Amino acid sequence: VKLSAGSVLDSGPARRLDLDDLGGEICLLDWGSGPPTLSRRAGIQPMMRGAMTITLIQETLATRKFLDRLVPIEENPLVLPLTPTPKDPVGSDIRSIPKALAAIQEDWETGESPNRLTAWNFSGRLKKRLQQKESGEVPVKAVDILITGCEVSLWL
């Protein structure tokens, strides 16, 4: 695989790539000499003036091109700048709890927040499911709620 030394990714603002965890996507960052490790399997994106490549592998096909999936994290009006680090970060976090709780409470009280609408929809569906169990439409031992999640703490 022949890679050009330059890339549109070598200039401009820093960017973030969100992996498609539901599509089973993984990302290999490859530094060093020689061809990229997984060159035969996926598209390769040179970065850092050719010093590194990004190889994406997916179980499903991506619906958007690699460059279209990058989100600028600098010079982006939708991304707020970092606040200055306080001398006492733990104390600062503790002092911010009442404000955060007030924002959550206000979010619920407006009646139009996504959290409240989701809770309203969820409770309605749960009530319907329990009524179906009570009437015999659904077996008593059937699963009512299956909670799954995705934890993403491997930030670079």
Q: What is the dihedral of CA 44, 23, 79, 82, to 10 degrees?
A: -90
Cβ atoms within 10 Å, residue 46: 20
Chain mean pLDDT for the chain: 78
Helix axes 89-109, 114-135, angle to 10 degrees: 60
Q: What is the pLDDT of residue 19?
A: 81
Maximal C-alpha separation, the chain: 68
- CA-based nearest residue to 116, from 132, 104, 131: 104
Q: What is the pLDDT of residue 124?
A: 94
Q: What is the pLDDT of residue 134?
A: 93
**pTM more than 0.85:** no
Q: What is the pLDDT of residue 86?
A: 92
| Terminal CA-CA length for the chain | 27
Instruction: Please report, for residues 33, 44, 46, 125, 129, the alpha-carbon distance to residue 54 in angstroms, rounded to integers and kept in the order given.
Output: 14, 6, 6, 43, 46
Tell me which amino acid residue 31 is. Answer: W
Q: What is the pLDDT of residue 37?
A: 59
- CA-based nearest residue to 66, from 53, 50, 80: 53
Tell me which H or E stretch contains 57. Answer: strand 52-57
Q: What is the pLDDT of residue 79?
A: 82
Q: pLDDT 10s digit of each residue in the chain, 156 long? A: 344 455 556 677 788 888 876 777 778 888 776 666 554 445 677 777 777 778 777 777 656 777 777 888 888 888 888 888 999 999 999 999 999 999 889 888 887 788 888 888 999 999 999 999 999 999 988 888 888 766 665 554
